[in-house]
Amino acid sequence: MNEQSVIETRGLTKYFGGKPAVYELDLEVPRGCVFAFLGRNGSGKTTTIRMLAGLEQPTRGAGSILGCDIRALSPEIRARIGYLAEEHQLYGWMSVAECGEFQAKFFAKWNGRIFRGIAGHFGLKPAARVKDLSRGERAGLCLALTLAPEPELLLLDDPGLGLDPVARRALVESMIYLTRKSDRTIFFSSHQLSDVERVADYMAVLDQSVLRACCPLEKFQESVRQVRLRFSGAPPALPEIPGLLQAARTENELRVTCARYDGETERILRALSPVEMETVPLGLEDAFISYLGERGEKSFILPDLEAQP
């Protein structure tokens, strides 16, 4: 096992019933980075994170986290991993302070200042009952409970789900605060690509249970390009382009979005003899949407779906 990896999986697979939720996942997460795990809903992200946290038995394949087999996580390893589930579930009858006291008794390395600091950052009162907290406040409390033992590795499953912008910002700030220690690793999944753009070093994309991308953030943005081709007349038929994601056609324009844009792609496009060819830069979110969105060619003008009078 690579000493520099905190998480390693080989052929990790999980079936629910007869359908695979995660299929043959090979992943390596280096130490000390912020790793974003992206994908559409239902693509297998939560299942993967739960398997890594030892909460779900893989159907086949292997994984190790901090050097320990994920099928048999020892208590010592669990002390070094912080896990945050997306529903932010806690015991409703406990108060904020009681939650902190409860967790503190289990961890040798419990840092009460961190707990109080993050709880205060989210505006939590120690006597408030968990069932009376809002979604964002609960998320903050869960985050405080997860970070206070100062874990080496954080597994965050969609930590920003359902949070208002203020709470989300507080969450991102907490994540950046964590990067102060260089040996801390954060592995998180998210749908908030703006936050991912801010905070992540690397990203991986799961598409329908299969890993399709794993690279530094900029590489992804560079690889997904949109090219606008203008023609004098009607645009020609689209040839076979490797890595084609989407194409849109208007009266005399062709917009082609492809992954892995390189010289070969450029050559093929130039061979269509456009009047003008322009690369449209894409932000991370647009690139992501194109990457995982509906494939194929579509007309730029949406048909009028409403009934005609």
Partner 1 sequence: MKALIQKDLRENLKAGLLGLLIYSLLALAVCLSTIASLTHLIDGNNGAVYSDVLQPLLSNDFLTESAFFCAIFGAVLGWMQSRNEAHRDLWAFLIHRPVTRTEIFRGKMTAGLCLYAMGAGLPMAVLLAVVRWPGHVAAPFEWAMVLPLAAVFLSGVACYFGGWLTGLRQARWYASRGFGLVLAVLCPVCVLNVAEFWQTLALTAVAVVILATAVWGAYQSGGYYRGQPAGGRLALIVAMAAGSGGVVFAGAGLLFAAVLNPWSSFSYSSSNYRMTQDGSLYKTTITNGVVKEIVDLDGHPLLDPKTGQKMEWQEFQKHVAAGAAASTELRYREYQNNGNSFCNQGRFFELWSTAEKALWYLDRHGDLRGYNAQTRKYAGSLNPPGSRGALGREPFLQLSDPGNYYGSDDLKLMATAKGVYQADFKARALKPVFSLTNDDEICGFCGDPGGPILNGNQMKFILLTTKSAVRLLDSEGGTILGVPYQPGYVEYPQVGVFFLQATNGSTANFAVWFYPDAQMNLKSGWKMPHHVLWLGPGQTVARSADLPYLHPQTSISWPTPLLQALLPPPAHLASDHNIYSPWSALCFALAIISAGVAWVLARRHNASIMAGIGWTLFVFLLGVAGLLTLLCAQEWAAREPCPNCKKLRAVDRELCEHCQAPFPPPEKNGTEIFAPL
Partner 2 sequence: MAVSFHINTGSNTPIYKQITDQARLAVAAARLGAGDQLPSVRALAEELVVNPNTVARAYADLVREGLLEARAGRGVFITRKRKVYSRAEGWRRLEPLLDALIGEAMVLDFTREELRKAFEEKLGQWKHPKGGDRNDE
Dist. CA 37–CA 249, nearest whole Å:
32
Using alpha carbons, select from 227, 247, 224, 242 the residue that is nearest to residue 299.
Answer: 247
Dist. CA 274–CA 270, nearest whole Å:
7
* 87 interacts with partner 2 by CB under 8 A: no
Two structure tokens written together for 101? 């006291």
Q: In this complex, which beta carbon is closest to partner 1, that of residue 58 or of residue 274?
A: 58
* 78 interacts with partner 1 by CB under 8 A: yes
Dist. CA 173–CA 140, nearest whole Å:
12
Cβ distance 34 to 199 under 8 Å?
yes
* 154 interacts with partner 2 by CB under 8 A: no
Residue 282's binding partner out of partner 1, partner 2, none, with CB under 5 to 8 Å set by partner kind:
partner 2
* 239 interacts with partner 1 by CB under 8 A: no
Two structure tokens written together for 50? 């739960």
Distance, CA of 40 to chain centre: 9
Task: Return the residue of 1, 93, 183, 302 that touches partner 1, per CB under 8 A.
Answer: 93
* 238 interacts with partner 1 by CB under 8 A: no
Residues 6+ apart with CB under 8 A from 66: 6, 77, 80, 81, 152, 153
H or E segment at 157? strand 153-157
The contact pattern for partner 1, residues 247-286, with x = CB under 8 A and - = no contact, is: -----------xxx--------------------------
Task: Return the residue of 40, 87, 230, 248 that touches partner 1, per CB under 8 A.
Answer: 87
* Among the residue ranges 86-94, 115-123, 276-284, 301-309, the one whose residues contact partner 1 (CB under 8 A): 86-94
Dist. CA 46–CA 44, nearest whole Å:
6
H or E segment at 52? helix 45-52
Task: Return the residue of 115, 188, 220, 288 that touches partner 1, per CB under 8 A.
Answer: 220
The contact pattern for partner 2, residues 265-294, with x = CB under 8 A and - = no contact, is: ---------------xxxxxxx--------
Q: State which amino acid sits at residue 231.
A: F
* 11 interacts with partner 1 by CB under 8 A: yes
Per-residue CA distances from 132 to 86, 92, 137, 212 (Å): 18, 8, 9, 41
Two structure tokens written together for 215? 């690279």
* 204 interacts with partner 2 by CB under 8 A: no
Task: Return the residue of 12, 133, 200, 256 that touches partner 2, per CB under 8 A.
Answer: 200
Task: Return the residue of 39, 44, 52, 83 that touches partner 1, per CB under 8 A.
Answer: 83
Which positions touch partner 1 (CB under 8 A)? Answer: 11, 13, 15, 17-18, 20, 23-24, 28, 30, 33, 50, 53-57, 59-60, 75-76, 78-79, 81, 83, 85-91, 93, 102-103, 105-107, 201-202, 205, 210-216, 219-220, 223-224, 242-245, 258-260, 291
